[in-house]
A = this chain, B = another copy of it.
Protein backbone atom coordinates (compact mmCIF):
# COMPACT_ATOMS: atom_id res chain seq x y z
CA UNK A 1 0.00 0.00 0.00
CA UNK A 2 1.41 3.38 -0.88
CA UNK A 3 2.07 5.63 2.08
CA UNK A 4 1.12 8.76 0.12
CA UNK A 5 -2.35 10.03 -0.65
CA UNK A 6 -2.03 11.03 -4.29
CA UNK A 7 -3.53 14.31 -5.42
CA UNK A 8 -4.82 14.79 -8.98
CA UNK A 9 -1.40 15.70 -10.36
CA UNK A 10 0.21 12.63 -8.81
CA UNK A 11 -2.58 10.33 -9.98
CA UNK A 12 -2.05 11.62 -13.51
CA UNK A 13 1.70 10.98 -13.30
CA UNK A 14 1.21 7.43 -12.04
CA UNK A 15 -1.45 6.67 -14.67
CA UNK A 16 0.79 8.06 -17.42
CA UNK A 17 3.85 6.02 -16.39
CA UNK A 18 1.81 2.84 -16.12
CA UNK A 19 0.36 3.39 -19.60
CA UNK A 20 3.79 4.23 -21.05
CA UNK A 21 5.02 0.88 -19.69
CA UNK A 22 2.03 -1.12 -20.87
CA UNK A 23 1.54 0.29 -24.35
CA UNK A 24 4.39 2.68 -25.13
CA UNK A 25 4.89 6.44 -24.87
CA UNK A 26 3.92 7.29 -28.45
CA UNK A 27 0.78 5.20 -28.29
CA UNK A 28 -0.53 6.81 -25.09
CA UNK A 29 -2.99 9.70 -25.37
CA UNK A 30 -3.93 12.37 -22.85
CA UNK A 31 -7.50 11.04 -22.89
CA UNK A 32 -6.27 7.59 -21.87
CA UNK A 33 -4.13 9.02 -19.06
CA UNK A 34 -7.05 11.03 -17.69
CA UNK A 35 -9.39 8.03 -17.90
CA UNK A 36 -6.92 5.73 -16.10
CA UNK A 37 -6.53 8.34 -13.35
CA UNK A 38 -10.32 8.67 -13.04
CA UNK A 39 -10.15 12.32 -14.08
CA UNK A 40 -11.16 14.41 -17.08
CA UNK A 41 -9.02 15.71 -19.93
CA UNK A 42 -9.60 19.25 -18.74
CA UNK A 43 -8.22 18.33 -15.30
CA UNK A 44 -5.16 16.93 -17.07
CA UNK A 45 -4.64 20.24 -18.85
CA UNK A 46 -4.93 22.18 -15.60
CA UNK A 47 -1.82 20.31 -14.41
CA UNK A 48 0.23 19.61 -17.53
CA UNK A 49 0.59 21.33 -20.91
CA UNK A 50 0.93 17.99 -22.68
CA UNK A 51 1.94 14.36 -22.20
CA UNK A 52 5.62 15.22 -22.50
CA UNK A 53 5.45 17.62 -19.56
CA UNK A 54 4.72 14.74 -17.20
CA UNK A 55 8.30 13.67 -17.78
CA UNK A 56 10.00 17.07 -17.97
CA UNK A 57 8.28 18.88 -15.08
CA UNK A 58 10.10 16.85 -12.43
CA UNK A 59 13.47 17.06 -14.07
CA UNK A 60 13.31 20.82 -14.50
CA UNK A 61 12.55 21.22 -10.81
CA UNK A 62 15.39 18.87 -9.93
CA UNK A 63 17.95 20.80 -11.99
CA UNK A 64 16.73 24.07 -10.51
CA UNK A 65 17.03 22.83 -6.91
CA UNK A 66 20.52 21.43 -7.50
CA UNK A 67 21.68 24.75 -8.94
CA UNK A 68 20.01 26.78 -6.17
CA UNK A 69 21.66 24.69 -3.46
CA UNK A 70 25.06 25.18 -5.09
CA UNK A 71 24.48 28.94 -5.41
CA UNK A 72 23.43 29.17 -1.75
CA UNK A 73 26.60 27.51 -0.40
CA UNK A 74 28.95 29.70 1.67
CA UNK A 75 31.29 31.80 -0.38
CA UNK A 76 34.29 29.84 0.86
CA UNK A 77 32.67 26.40 0.42
CA UNK A 78 34.74 24.04 -1.75
CA UNK A 79 33.24 22.89 -5.08
CA UNK A 80 32.36 19.49 -3.60
CA UNK A 81 30.80 21.03 -0.50
CA UNK A 82 28.72 23.23 -2.79
CA UNK A 83 27.59 20.13 -4.73
CA UNK A 84 26.69 18.52 -1.40
CA UNK A 85 24.46 21.54 -0.68
CA UNK A 86 22.80 21.12 -4.07
CA UNK A 87 22.17 17.44 -3.42
CA UNK A 88 20.71 18.20 0.00
CA UNK A 89 18.34 20.76 -1.44
CA UNK A 90 17.15 18.54 -4.29
CA UNK A 91 16.88 15.43 -2.11
CA UNK A 92 14.98 17.34 0.56
CA UNK A 93 12.25 18.17 -1.94
CA UNK A 94 11.58 14.52 -2.81
CA UNK A 95 8.62 12.98 -1.02
CA UNK A 96 7.21 9.49 -0.53
CA UNK A 97 5.41 10.12 -3.80
CA UNK A 98 8.74 10.37 -5.64
CA UNK A 99 9.83 7.16 -3.96
CA UNK A 100 6.70 5.30 -5.03
CA UNK A 101 7.14 6.68 -8.53
CA UNK A 102 10.73 5.36 -8.82
CA UNK A 103 9.99 1.74 -9.75
CA UNK A 104 7.23 2.88 -12.15
CA UNK A 105 9.58 5.29 -13.86
CA UNK A 106 12.20 2.55 -14.06
CA UNK A 107 9.71 0.12 -15.63
CA UNK A 108 8.56 2.72 -18.15
CA UNK A 109 12.17 3.53 -19.09
CA UNK A 110 13.07 -0.13 -19.50
CA UNK A 111 10.07 -0.63 -21.79
CA UNK A 112 10.57 2.38 -24.10
CA UNK A 113 13.55 3.55 -26.09
CA UNK A 114 11.91 6.98 -26.32
CA UNK A 115 11.87 7.23 -22.54
CA UNK A 116 15.42 5.93 -22.24
CA UNK A 117 16.54 8.84 -24.40
CA UNK A 118 14.57 11.30 -22.33
CA UNK A 119 16.07 9.88 -19.15
CA UNK A 120 19.56 10.27 -20.60
CA UNK A 121 18.73 13.90 -21.35
CA UNK A 122 17.76 14.32 -17.71
CA UNK A 123 21.23 13.27 -16.50
CA UNK A 124 22.83 15.62 -19.00
CA UNK A 125 20.51 18.43 -17.89
CA UNK A 126 21.34 17.87 -14.21
CA UNK A 127 25.07 17.87 -14.97
CA UNK A 128 24.79 21.04 -17.06
CA UNK A 129 22.79 22.85 -14.36
CA UNK A 130 25.35 21.96 -11.68
CA UNK A 131 28.33 22.79 -13.91
CA UNK A 132 26.82 26.22 -14.65
CA UNK A 133 26.13 26.90 -10.98
CA UNK A 134 29.71 25.95 -10.06
CA UNK A 135 31.16 28.09 -12.86
CA UNK A 136 29.19 31.05 -11.53
CA UNK A 137 31.00 30.49 -8.21
CA UNK A 138 34.30 30.87 -10.05
CA UNK A 139 35.12 27.14 -10.20
CA UNK A 140 37.29 26.44 -13.28
CA UNK A 141 35.58 24.55 -16.11
CA UNK A 142 37.26 21.14 -15.73
CA UNK A 143 36.80 21.06 -11.95
CA UNK A 144 33.17 22.18 -12.34
CA UNK A 145 32.45 19.39 -14.81
CA UNK A 146 34.02 16.68 -12.65
CA UNK A 147 32.30 17.90 -9.46
CA UNK A 148 28.94 18.06 -11.28
CA UNK A 149 29.32 14.49 -12.59
CA UNK A 150 30.02 13.27 -9.06
CA UNK A 151 26.80 14.99 -8.03
CA UNK A 152 24.79 13.32 -10.82
CA UNK A 153 26.21 9.90 -9.93
CA UNK A 154 25.45 10.46 -6.23
CA UNK A 155 21.87 11.54 -6.86
CA UNK A 156 21.25 8.54 -9.14
CA UNK A 157 22.84 6.02 -6.79
CA UNK A 158 21.12 7.44 -3.71
CA UNK A 159 17.75 7.60 -5.44
CA UNK A 160 17.99 4.02 -6.75
CA UNK A 161 18.80 2.66 -3.29
CA UNK A 162 16.06 4.73 -1.66
CA UNK A 163 13.38 3.76 -4.20
CA UNK A 164 14.38 0.08 -4.42
CA UNK A 165 11.10 -1.80 -3.92
CA UNK A 166 13.05 -4.89 -2.78
CA UNK A 167 14.17 -3.29 0.46
CA UNK A 168 12.22 -4.49 3.47
CA UNK A 169 12.90 -1.74 6.02
CA UNK A 170 11.42 1.73 6.23
CA UNK A 171 13.72 3.70 3.98
CA UNK A 172 13.67 7.11 5.68
CA UNK A 173 14.60 10.26 3.80
CA UNK A 174 16.29 10.40 0.41
CA UNK A 175 18.83 12.88 1.76
CA UNK A 176 20.39 10.14 3.91
CA UNK A 177 20.98 8.06 0.78
CA UNK A 178 22.34 10.82 -1.46
CA UNK A 179 24.71 11.95 1.32
CA UNK A 180 26.03 8.42 1.78
CA UNK A 181 26.38 7.93 -1.98
CA UNK A 182 28.18 11.26 -2.39
CA UNK A 183 30.59 10.42 0.45
CA UNK A 184 31.29 7.07 -1.22
CA UNK A 185 31.94 8.69 -4.62
CA UNK A 186 34.10 11.45 -3.12
CA UNK A 187 36.33 8.84 -1.46
CA UNK A 188 36.46 6.83 -4.67
CA UNK A 189 37.42 9.94 -6.65
CA UNK A 190 40.08 10.96 -4.11
CA UNK A 191 41.60 7.46 -4.20
CA UNK A 192 41.59 7.17 -8.01
CA UNK A 193 44.97 6.76 -9.65
Task: Point out the residues of chain B lying under 8 angstroms from A190, CB to CB.
Answer: 192
Which residues in B have their C-beta under 8 angstroms from that of A150? Answer: 146, 149, 192
A contact residues, total (Cβ < 8 Å): 30
Chain B residues with Cβ below 8 Å from A78 are 192-193
Within 8 A of B (CB), among A8-54: none
How far does the alpha carbon of A145 sit from the alpha carbon of B185 in the complex, in Å? 9
Contacts known (A118-B117, A124-B120, A184-B142); A192 close to B193, Cβ less than 8 A = no
- Dominant secondary structure at the A interface: helix
Q: How far is the CA of A116 from the CA of B122 in the complex (A)?
A: 11
Copies in the complex: 2
The one of B118, B140, B149 in contact with A149, judged by C-beta atoms closer than 8 angstroms, is B149
A115 vs B182: C-alpha distance when bound (angstroms): 31
CB-based nearest B residue for A183: B142
Any B CB within 8 A of the CB of A189: yes
Please determine whether A192 and B79 come into contact, CB atoms closer than 8 angstroms: yes
**Is A123 at the interface (CB under 8 A from chain B)?**
yes
CA distance A81 to B146 in the complex (A): 17
Chain B residues with Cβ under 8 A from A143's Cβ?
Answer: 188, 191-192
Interface, chain A (partner B; CB < 8 A): 78-81, 116-118, 120-121, 123-124, 140, 142-143, 145-147, 149-150, 153, 157, 184-185, 187-193
Using A78-B192, A117-B118, A142-B185 as known contacts, list a sample of 15 further A-B pairs with CB atoms less than 8 Å apart, ordered by residue number in A: A117-B117, A117-B120, A117-B121, A120-B123, A123-B124, A142-B184, A143-B191, A146-B149, A146-B150, A146-B153, A146-B188, A147-B192, A149-B153, A150-B192, A190-B192
